[in-house]
Amino acid sequence: MQFNKLLFSSEGSVSVLQFKSTKLSKIEIKTLNELLKTKEVEICEVSNSGNVNNIIVNNLSSYFLFMLDGDILRGAKQNRILNTSVLVSPNNKLNIPVSCVESGRWSNYSRDFNSSEYTVTSDFRAKKSSSVNKNYNSKKSYQTDQSHIWDIVKEEMCLKKVISDSDDYEAVYKKHSNTLKDKFKPAEGANGMAIFYGTKILNADIFGTEKLYKQYFERIINAASLNLQRKSTISSLTEQHAINILHKKIYYAEESIISNDKAAGEGKEMRFENDKFSGFELTYNDSLIHYTLLSKRG
C-alpha cells in the first residue's frame, strides 16, 4: 500500500496523519446514512424470532452500499455492530454478520434498524477483528465470539463509569463528549488517515473514495476521543516519524496475511493478524473499498 502525505496535525498527545493512497475505486458508492435518507435501504432481523449474529440488509438503490466495520446499528430486537466492512451491490439483499452490543434487550424498539452516529473504538474493533480472524481460520465464518463481545462492552462501560438498563454500549457515547471535535478536519484530496497517541499508532483507515473518507472521518475521530486517556504525559510525534511508523506497520501487516477470500458481501477480503495488529483490506475488482489497521493496545 503506497500513500502520499497531505496533512499532519496534532492536538496535545493526539496526532492525525492524513494521506492519499493508490488503488482508488471508480464505482458509485453510497453510505448507509445516505440511503436511509432516501429510503432506499432496509435493515431488519432475519426473521420474526431473530438471530443475534445475523441481520438482513436490502439495498433497494442503483448504487453500491458501503457499511463500516464497527458501526453501531440501532433498533430492532437489540443494537448490533458490523463484524467487518461490507459492500452490498445495487438491488441486492444480503445476510450479514453482526455482534450484539446490547445484551439486556431482546424486544423490538422498531421493525427495522437505523444508523447510529457512532462506531466502536479502535481497541474494540481490534478485539472484534481478532475474534473474526480466529473464527474465519477455523470455520470460514465472519462471526465473533459473542460472549467475548459482551465482556468488552461491560469492561468499557465499567471503565467509563456508565450504567445502562439494557447494557447498551451506545450509552458510553451519550455520556462522554467528543473532546477532539473541531480539532481535526478532513484534508482536501485525502482518502486515508492514521491516528496516533504519542508515538503509538492506534488505527489507520483508508477508503476507496475521498467521499467515503469525508463521511466517516468525524465518527472515527470521535471513537478515538472516547478511547484516549489524554491526561497522560507521553512523547511527542514528528511528521516524519509518523510517516515512518505507518509505512512500517503496513509492511508488517502485509507480511501477516492469514486469509484472502471472498468477502462477507461483494468483493474480496484479505485479513491479517500478528501480535501487535489486526485488520483487513476489502477490495472490489482489484480496487480498494476499505483498509483498516487496528492496534492491539490491550
Tell me the three state secondary structure of residue 116: strand
Average pLDDT over residues 26-48: 95
**pLDDT of 5 above 90:** yes
Q: Mean per-residue pLDDT for 56-74?
A: 97
Higher pLDDT, 109 or 21: 21
Residue 83 has pLDDT above 60, yes or no: yes
Share above pLDDT 90 across residues of the chain, in percent, rounded to a whole number: 84
Across all residues in the chain, what is the average pLDDT? 93
- According to the model, what pLDDT value does residue 22 have? 81
**Which residues lie below 8 Å from residue 80, measured CB to CB, with a gap of 6+?**
55, 72, 73, 98, 99, 100, 101, 113
Write out pLDDT tens, residues 223-280. 998 877 545 556 679 999 999 999 999 999 989 999 999 999 999 999 999 999 999 9
What is the DSSP pairing of strand 92-100 with strand 268-273? unpaired
pLDDT higher than 50, residue 82: yes
pLDDT more than 70, % of the chain:
97
| Residue 269 pLDDT | 97
How many CB atoms sit inside 10 A of residue 52's CB?
17
> The whole model's pTM is what?
0.94
pLDDT of residue 298: 47
Angle between helices 210-227 and 122-139 (to 10 degrees): 110
The CB-based long-range contact list for 135-138 (8 Å cut-off, 24+ gap) reads: 136/258, 136/259, 136/271, 137/258, 137/259
Give rounded-to-5 percent helix, strand, coil for the chain: 25, 35, 40
- What pLDDT shows up at residue 229? 54
H-helix or E-strand spanning residue 33:
helix 32-37
Q: Give residue-wise pLDDT tens across range 193-218.
A: 999 999 999 999 999 999 999 999 99
Please tell me which residue, 111 or 19, carries the higher pLDDT value.
19
- 75, pLDDT greater than 50: yes
pLDDT (0 to 100) of residue 12: 86
Judge whether 25 and 288 are in contact, CB under 8 Å. Answer: yes
Q: What is the pLDDT of residues 115-158, one digit of tens each?
A: 998 999 999 999 999 999 999 989 999 999 999 999 999 999 99
State the amino acid at position 118 in one-letter form. Y
